[in-house]
Amino acid sequence: MIVLSYLLIFIGCVALSLSMKRHFKQCYPQRRMPSLKNLFIFRIIGFTYLLLSTSIFIVEQGWGIGLVLWFGLLTIVAFLQSLLLTYKPQWIMPIGFIGLVGAVSYTNISL
Amino acid sequence: MNTNTQGNFRQSMKWLHTWAGIAVAIILYFMFVTGSAGYFNDEITYWMQPETPTVNNGIDQQSMMVLAEKRLAKVAPNATQWWVNFPIGREYALSIWWPEKTKIDADNDGKMDDEWHDEVLDLRTGEPIAVRKTGGGNTLYYMHYALHYIPSVLGYWLTSLCAMFMLIGLITGIVIHKQIFKDFFTFRAGKKQHSWRDMHNVLSVLPLPFHIMITYSGLLFLMFTTMPGVLTASYGPGEENRDRFYDAIYIQDAVHKDTVGIAANNISLSSVFPDVEQRWGKGQVSYIGIENRGDINAHIELGEVGYDGLESGRSLTYNAVNGDLQHASHGSKSSSAAMTFYNIMTMLHEGSFSGPLLRWLYFISGLMGAGMIATGMILWASKRRERADKKGFASNGLILIERLNVGTIVGLLIGIATYFWANRLLPVNFAERENWEIHSLFISWAATLAYPYMVAHKRSINKIWVDQLTIAAVLYGLLPVLNFLTTNVHLGNTLLSGNWVLAGFDLTMLVFSVCFAFSAYRMLAKEKKVMATLNTSNVKNSKMARNNTITTDKQVILPIEKVEL
């Protein structure tokens, strides 16, 4: 379950950074900036994934430890994300995609 | 310098943030680094006592208990208490300890006092094993709130004061940060002081919940020392009243009775195991002890191992005369909401409930805290260095801080590496070895602090960074090699036998080494670039070159240097 939550946090971070103009440009330097409405959709997707991972932790580990774990993981994932955006922005979408596939298949296996 | 406190609110907060931070940065950095190491205190101690037996497969707790009891009966037949720790959870050895009445203080009316003894036992034979004396991880952990070489109460005061500054730094930092969410992932590399500010922001904002929790709960930890006035106001002054307060907040179990002086035969400690294992399952006992041994009021207490929830594990208390269960406690209990809050905050600080994953997250967050302080210090210097380069001279204060930064940020880490080296190199039988381990930490740290000043006229600040980062990389990188040469618990054995705690220590040291080596390499590349541009600009601008060598009484004019990594 930790793996799944980790993936969800990562996907959430990718979506959130895509919702910001500066980081969208880093990921897609060639592409035209999406409209504000579309950026906002990315933001909603990002927060949804973060909420999803929080709820998994809380259901699995209880409020106390669940939240502590979630904050700890979010810290590290977001830190990695900020380094990726700076040094290897072209990796983000592939990693995010692999993460998404991983999360979906993990859910299928465990269900 | 900038003393404008009358500007707008954000400006004054900025001033407060800068100076509250820089004033106590060294101690805060020390607290973050040693405190982070403290999350692995037991694991570090385990590594620092390589004689600790590593095999415990298939030996059940009851038979360990029989061995431990046999040994205790031999070495401490008259002790009033016996305690045994099992190698489970984060304990890595079967250890016993007991108090012995000794006259410790001639002035104190020859009063008898308890002196505690302890032994580590072989799991198969129950014979004591000579483990080397070491400060271990606990000394690092203890230093992060009591410091060292000063009375502990003074240490508590100093660390509390610094934590207060840290809290001010956090709050003002949030106020002056214009776009916390917009800049959440923002790190722009290669932009001098802006890169340092970005990294400072990232290291502060991402672990912000951790930073706030750790600072606030750290203050709570020491509040009985730093705010005795609150206590005195409601309970009155003096030690007696303080005891009254402690009695009121910590529930005294009715089962923990005092001795009555009537001798009685006690049951053996191992005899309660069948009942315990029925309640908790096999192999779940973390410690067992008997108090008031030989008295009719003797009782046996056991604690359960476990990380579940923000409360301590369960415990059982048995009557040691007839073996009846007297009390079964379900986790921590507290008398009030305030006490519950206090318990939760302090447990969050210690992470005492954490399994391996969460412990690593704590450790990394702690290191990010150290990074936050370090980048703050470098940012302070790099901002002023840029200004100084434009003007063509640097103030003494700037030069002082620049040099202090290297000796603090890398130097402390070199000191800790030396601590581990000393553990392996000092003779095992050397009586003072515990103390000299710590001395070597501080001696090497002092040397790294002094080094930038000693070579100041020969080496640029960038080169000093390269020097110290290289030393750190070598010291950490060779630790597993030293471990291989001096002990049996080197990577070759620990990886094969799957001892991930000891292997993890060596591997972590290697990771640190790679990080230092990489930083040194990057710094060297930077220095070469700076030197190249300096040489060309010297040819173009001879006036500037001449300026660089002029020295006046008050202001030293240095060659143009860049402090950024």
Compare CB distances from B186 to A2, A16, A82 and report the shortest one's residue. A82
Q: Binning pLDDT at 50, 70 and 90, where does residue B558 land?
A: very low
Give the least confident one: A38-47, B375-384, B388-397.
B388-397
A8: helix, coil or strand?
Answer: helix
Would you call B166 exposed, middle or buried from its count of C-beta atoms within 10 A (0-12, 13-18, 19+)? buried
Q: Binning pLDDT at 50, 70 and 90, where does residue B248 land?
A: low
Cβ atoms within 10 Å, residue B321: 15
Give the least confident one: B34-43, B214-223, B348-357, B548-557.
B548-557
What is the C-alpha to C-alpha distance for residues B278 and B162, in angstroms, rounded to an integer? Answer: 49
Give counts: helices (H), strands (E), chain B.
19, 8
- Taking CB atoms and an 8 Å limit, are A76 and B188 in contact across chains? no
Contacts of A69 in chain B (CB under 8 A): 357-358, 361
Can you give the pLDDT at residue A49? Answer: 93
Sign of the alpha-carbon torsion through B275, B279, B285, B289:
negative
| Domain around A30 | 2-110
**What is the per-residue pLDDT across B36-63, written as a single tens digit (0 to 9) for each?**
999 999 999 999 999 988 766 667 888 8
> Is the predicted pLDDT of residue B561 greater than 50, yes or no?
no
**What is the per-residue pLDDT across A54-88, written as a single tens digit (0 to 9) for each?**
998 898 888 888 899 999 999 999 999 999 999 99
Contacts of A85 in chain B (CB under 8 A): 185-187
> What's the gap between Cα B60 and its chain centre?
33
Would you call B469 exposed, middle or buried from its count of C-beta atoms within 10 A (0-12, 13-18, 19+)? buried
- Give the nearest chain B residue to A80 (CA atoms): B185
> Is the predicted pLDDT of residue B198 greater than 80, yes or no?
yes
CA distance A88 to chain B (A): 12
- Taking CB atoms and an 8 Å limit, are A76 and B185 in contact across chains? no
Q: Binning pLDDT at 50, 70 and 90, where does residue B261 land?
A: confident
Q: Which tokens go with B236? A: 């009155």
Mean pLDDT of the B214-228 span:
85
- Taking CB atoms and an 8 Å limit, are B202 and A82 in contact across chains? yes
Most confidently predicted of B54-63, B121-130, B273-282, B469-478:
B469-478
- Taking CB atoms and an 8 Å limit, are B187 and A17 in contact across chains? no
Element (H, E) at B328: strand B325-329
Q: Binning pLDDT at 50, 70 and 90, where does residue B256 land?
A: low
Count of domains observed in chain A? 1
- Taking CB atoms and an 8 Å limit, are B187 and A86 in contact across chains? yes
> Is the predicted pLDDT of residue B293 greater than 50, yes or no?
yes
What is the C-alpha to C-alpha distance for residues B565 and B563, in angstroms, rounded to an integer? Answer: 6
Contacts of B206 in chain A (CB under 8 A): 74-75, 78-79, 82
- Taking CB atoms and an 8 Å limit, are A13 and B185 in contact across chains? yes
CA distances from A37 to A33, A44, A84, A93 (A): 11, 11, 26, 21
When comparing pLDDT for B360 and B10, which is higher? B360
Contacts of A42 in chain B (CB under 8 A): none
Q: Residue B74: CB partners within 8 Å, gap ≥ 6?
A: none
Contacts 24+ apart (CB under 8 A), B190-196: B192/B382, B192/B386, B192/B562, B192/B564, B193/B379, B193/B382, B193/B383, B193/B386, B193/B564, B195/B564, B196/B375, B196/B378, B196/B379, B196/B382, B196/B564
Interface membership of B356 toward A (CB under 8 Å)? no
Mean pLDDT of the B410-414 span:
97
CA distance A75 to chain B (A): 5
Q: Beta B285-291 vs B128-129: how paired, if at all? A: unpaired
**What is the per-residue pLDDT across B425-477, written as a single tens digit (0 to 9) for each?**
999 988 889 999 999 999 999 999 999 999 988 888 999 999 999 999 999 99
CA distance B517 to chain A (A): 19
**Which residues face B131 on adjacent strands?**
none
Q: Which tokens go with B346? A: 């302090």
Q: Binning pLDDT at 50, 70 and 90, where does residue B378 land?
A: very high
What is the C-alpha to C-alpha distance for residues B186 and A25, in angstroms, rounded to an integer? Answer: 13
Show which of residues 36-75 on chain A sit within 8 Å of chain B, judged by CB atoms.
Answer: 62, 64-65, 68-69, 71-75
When comparing pLDDT for B535 and B388, which is higher? B388
Q: Which tokens go with B343? A: 């318990």
Mean pLDDT, chain B, rounded, equals 85
Mean pLDDT of the A48-53 span:
93
Most confidently predicted of B171-185, B505-519, B543-557:
B505-519
- Give the nearest chain A residue to B366 (CA atoms): A72
Interface size, chain A vs chain B, as Cβ–Cβ contacts under 8 Å: 64
Give the least confident one: B157-166, B167-176, B239-248, B437-446.
B239-248
- Taking CB atoms and an 8 Å limit, are A76 and B309 in contact across chains? no
Sign of the alpha-carbon torsion through A13, B198, B14, B27:
positive
Residue B253: HSE in the Cβ half-sphere, 13 Å Cα cutoff: 16
What is the C-alpha to C-alpha distance for residues B268 and B271, in angstroms, rounded to an integer? Answer: 6
Helix axes B356-391, B193-205, angle to 10 degrees: 150
Q: Binning pLDDT at 50, 70 and 90, where does residue B543 land?
A: very low
Can you give the pLDDT at residue B191? Answer: 83
Domain boundaries, chain B: 9-47+141-154+163-218+354-547, 56-131+252-329
- Taking CB atoms and an 8 Å limit, are B310 and A64 in contact across chains? yes
Contacts of A74 in chain B (CB under 8 A): 206
Query: What is the interface pTM, i.e. ipTM, of the complex?
Result: 0.92
Which of B185, B203, B357 to probe the A interface (max A CBs under 10 A)?
Answer: B185
